[in-house]
Copies of this chain bind each other. A is one copy, B any other.
């Protein structure tokens, strides 16, 4: 009876998973392909599929199967994790009334159009009415998800993206990350180093496409199981480990945008391609959390792609692909160019130092919106005040401010914080990988005692040689393949220890002290 129950359970879960994939495809197509007049039918179809998924998740059949399965699985096994995670998802689904789920899906599908219109007209008032509706639905959702032990309504929303995350846990993390960011940012502003520039027009669009393809090849993204398209806002959609779609954004004026978006989305894509194949269609073969997901993208984008050794490896290839790039451009020039610190109105264009400040702003605003301390009518002002306080710049128009992100139009409240977690985790993984490599190299005696050059970390050695596949495989082995088997905290403890801002702090202080010749 044991295997039969599990087979049946997997089938039911796989159908739910497939509804999710279909929803994802409907959404991807909406953003990348759909003509404007297709919107009405598309919203309806998204609502229909969300309802099916929700119904299936709440079905008694699934409840019974999970109960039976939980009694027979071996503790600590993958199956046990699968059952546990499915139970978690079902519990959340059971707390949400079906009409609310459908309503949220429909309203947020339509909200996209209003958000786009508001941006085109650069007028927050065009978006505000539908945003009010969304905030009201999110408050309703939070109150449906509240339990006796819940301390803050925002916890319920964060928990959907980052299991077990609470305001109590997040507040100090956000505070500390923001504070170190501000400290480094102030020091940079006082620095006299301005660094070299790369001449405008060095990177033609055709070459950018070629180089982005190269980047995905280097990091081992399987193009037979994915694609790379262009879109205004780069994103990743995964329908299956066999169909993972990335987008990037090409611009002659901001050439590095395309490269780093590709590395970033490529990092997300590798995670999806690396999930445990045998459990596809079950919660076990899903990403552990959005913070973990973001840690993969930020890892490739920043920990690898913004490293000096990366540009040592990339520079010759770059010169092959871009003949207009001046011959005297060095890896040092490139390294500085991709790490330049500059306050930006836009989160997506901000550097590693100021990025966390953008998140801190959204995190505080969302909490206030949810509790009712802040209303949508005052949001634009509060945004601008916050920017001024945190970064010393005030947006001149809503497109540069409150309208810049798509997330709220999609109903993604409780989501932004995971970007910050991603930054923290990615620094932690880089350290864990370095530790692993140093351990191995010592035990295998691979040191070269004859060399007199300054010691280069084993990780930098790998990168200089372009051996990105070893890095991917380390991530695959230690993170991707586990899916949702462990909690984020367990996974992190297996590698290096619970989440701790210190890795990010020391990383960012060290890097920018060197780049800007500052002391922090």
Give the chain B neighbours of A224 by CB distance below 8 A.
Answer: 35-37
A240 an interface residue at 8 Å Cβ cutoff?
yes
A225 an interface residue at 8 Å Cβ cutoff?
yes
The size of the chain A interface, using a CB distance under 8 A, is 36
Give the chain B neighbours of A37 by CB distance below 8 A.
Answer: 222, 224-225, 240-243
Within 8 A of B (CB), among A241-296: 241-243, 280
Task: Please choose the segment from A25-33, A79-87, A190-198 that sits at the chain B interface, where 4 or more of its residues have CB less than 8 A away.
Answer: A25-33
Q: Tell me the bound Cα distance from A222 to B37 in angstroms.
A: 10
- Chain B nearest CB from A106 CB (Å) reads 13
Apart from A18-B41, A33-B227, A37-B224, list 4 A-B contacts with CB within 8 A.
A14-B44, A21-B41, A33-B33, A52-B52
The 8 closest A-B pairs by CB, nearest first: A38-B243, A37-B242, A41-B240, A37-B225, A38-B242, A18-B45, A37-B224, A18-B48
Give the chain B neighbours of A241 by CB distance below 8 A.
Answer: 37
- Chain B nearest CB from A353 CB (Å) reads 37
Give the chain B neighbours of A48 by CB distance below 8 A.
Answer: 15, 18-19
Give the chain B neighbours of A22 by CB distance below 8 A.
Answer: 22, 26, 45, 49
Q: Say whether, besides A18-B48, A26-B22, A48-B15, A41 and B239 are in contact (CB < 8 Å).
A: yes
A226 an interface residue at 8 Å Cβ cutoff?
yes
- A194-225 interface code vs B (CB 8 A; 1 in, 0 out): 00000000000000000000000000001111
A496 an interface residue at 8 Å Cβ cutoff?
no
Q: A residues bordering B, Cβ < 8 Å?
A: 14-15, 18-19, 21-22, 25-26, 29, 33-42, 44-45, 48-49, 52, 222-227, 239-243, 280
In the complex, are the beta carbons of A29 and B38 less than 8 A apart? no
- Chain B nearest CB from A212 CB (Å) reads 16
What would be 19 A-B contacts, judged by CB atoms less than 8 Å apart? A14-B44, A21-B41, A22-B45, A25-B25, A25-B29, A33-B227, A34-B243, A35-B226, A35-B227, A36-B224, A37-B222, A38-B239, A41-B239, A41-B240, A41-B280, A42-B239, A42-B240, A42-B243, A52-B52
